[in-house]
Amino acid sequence: MTVEQLARLDGRGAVVDPATYARLFAAVTAWVEGPGEAWSERIEATGTVPAELRAELKERGFLGLAAPRELGGGGLGFTQWMGLMEVFSRSHASIRMIVHVVNGTWRSMNPHATPEQRAKYIVPSVAGDITVAFTLTEPGNGSGADISTTVRRDGDTYYLNGTKHLITFGVNCDYWLLFARLEGSHGKDGTVGLLVARDSPGVTVEDTSNTMGVRGTDHARLTFTDTPVPVDQRLGAEGDGLKIALGGFLTPSRISVAMSCVGLAERAQQLAIGYARQRVTFGKPIAARQAIAFMLAENAADIEAARALVMHAAAEWEAGADRAPALSSMAKLTAVDMLTRVTDKALQVHGGLGYWKSEAIERVYRDARAQRFEEGTNEIQKTVIAKDIFARAAATERETH
């Protein structure tokens, strides 16, 4: 498939003109710093994401910015979308999670959807009319070919059995975009991608939303017992499950998560700088203390370096480069480690006060920890990177002999 064909399916080649983008960037920034901050305080106080917030995000068009105009989206290029993802990530983690997931799930579905499925599931998802929860992870397995949730086919119906957990938006969604395997199959060849209605019979939904950070985002543990799923709710063909789950979705999603680390680190740095300038000890602000100034200088360099790598990975994916998957893992690994260092120093700048929930840095510090496992742990990223470097070394050796 050519880059041009991919662009029509996943929007990587779309772009809006600079003037329009500048206006959109300014609007998103103003919302994050104004209404978004008020919503953040409300989410932390209640532990839930109000329905009115989702309605506001939909009304402002923030849920479809990254999708192509053919799907009703904003038509942003991927690097443009990363610029906005950076801004959204300075807000509450649950706000970032909503715009990240909704602006990305369509990428997994669209290349494999029929025109009817596109109209029924993808266009409404991009519009914010329905929520589709990505449903891959299982309690006893990794997140790849070893999935054990199964389906058996009887005529025009699959019957689904198994358990999924850590499913973001799994409680309050409209559909689960779920990955399973045909009974008796092994490896990737037997996997399928299904759109399972939230109200399907034979499903037990356990709300597991009581998390350390990212408060307000719902998470679920799902148990399926002979749950019927019409065959026409399968995306692609039998055997395409992992391709749908990982193929055109995982690389841009990892880059997006890496950029969310950059945005959250910028917020932590902003809070630390503000506190350092106003906190006075022995007659002068602590910003004048070299120990504090050096921590903030290290943070600034750390953030800039990570951002540059993330944008490089984004540009390479946008261009269809074959090294984009490895670069996405490098970006995620680097940005996550950067975020850990930056938030730790930012909290330290606040001294003991930073440990109190009255301070915004306390929430940022908790939210940052979630990024270490979203879209794969650091150990997974290192595995992907190592595989790439050894494959390239072998290819180079073959070319020189």
Q: Give me the amino acid identity at 158.
A: Y
Q: What is the pTM of this model?
A: 0.93
Q: Give percent of the chain above pLDDT 70.
A: 97
Fold designation for 249-399: Butyryl-CoA Dehydrogenase, subunit A; domain 3 (1.20.140)
Q: Which of 306, 218, 297 is nearest to 262 (CA)?
A: 306
| CATH (one of 2.40.110.10, 3.40.50.720, 1.10.1060.10, 3.20.20.70) for 133-239 | 2.40.110.10
Long-range Cβ contact pairs of 203-209 (< 8 A, separation 24 or more): 203/227, 205/170, 205/171, 207/171, 208/165, 208/166, 209/171
Q: Which of 304, 291, 207, 295 is nearest to 265 (CA)?
A: 304
The set of catalytic residues is 375
Asked whether 98 and 256 are in contact (CB, 8 A), the reply is: no
| Higher-confidence position of 249 and 83 | 83
Q: Which of 246, 253, 265, 239 is nearest to 335 (CA)?
A: 265
Q: pLDDT tens, 320-346? A: 999 999 999 999 999 999 999 999 999
Asked whether 213 and 193 are in contact (CB, 8 A), the reply is: no
Q: pLDDT tens, 3-32? A: 345 445 666 766 889 999 999 999 999 999
If one counts every other C-beta atom within 10 angstroms of the C-beta of residue 75, the result is: 19
Q: Which tokens in the block code for residue 270? A: 């902003």
Rg of the chain's alpha carbons, rounded to an integer?
22
If one counts every other C-beta atom within 10 angstroms of the C-beta of residue 164, the result is: 23
Q: pLDDT tens, 361-394? A: 999 999 999 999 899 899 999 999 999 999 999 9
Give the pLDDT confidence score for residue 112 in this predicted structure.
95
Q: Which of 331, 332, 369 is nearest to 347 (CA)?
A: 369
Residue 73 — very low, low, confident or very high, per pLDDT cuts 50/70/90? very high
| Higher-confidence position of 335 and 189 | 335
Give the pLDDT confidence score for residue 2 in this predicted structure.
46
Burial of 159 (0-12, 13-18, 19+ CB in 10 A): middle
Residue 401 — very low, low, confident or very high, per pLDDT cuts 50/70/90? confident
In the chain, domain spans? 3-130, 133-239, 249-399
Give, as one character, the DSSP assignment of residue 30. H
Architecture, CATH, for domain 3-130:
Orthogonal Bundle (1.10)
The Cα 235–Cα 231 span in angstroms is 9
Look at strands 150-154 and 175-182 and give their pairing. parallel
Residue 222 bridge partners (DSSP): 164, 205
Q: pLDDT tens, 152-185? A: 999 999 999 999 999 999 999 999 999 999 999 9
Give the pLDDT confidence score for residue 1 in this predicted structure.
43
Give the pLDDT confidence score for residue 142 in this predicted structure.
73
| Higher-confidence position of 6 and 244 | 244
Kindly provide the residue ranges of all beta strands, DSSP E only, lying in 209-294, ordered along the sequence. Answer: 219-230, 234-235, 280-281, 284-285
The Cα 267–Cα 401 span in angstroms is 51
Tell me the pLDDT of the chain averaged across its residues.
94
Q: pLDDT tens, 82-141? A: 999 999 999 999 999 999 999 999 999 999 999 999 999 999 999 999 999 999 999 988
The Cα 342–Cα 264 span in angstroms is 9
Give the contacts of 101 (CB within 8 A, at least 6 positions apart).
Answer: 134, 168, 169
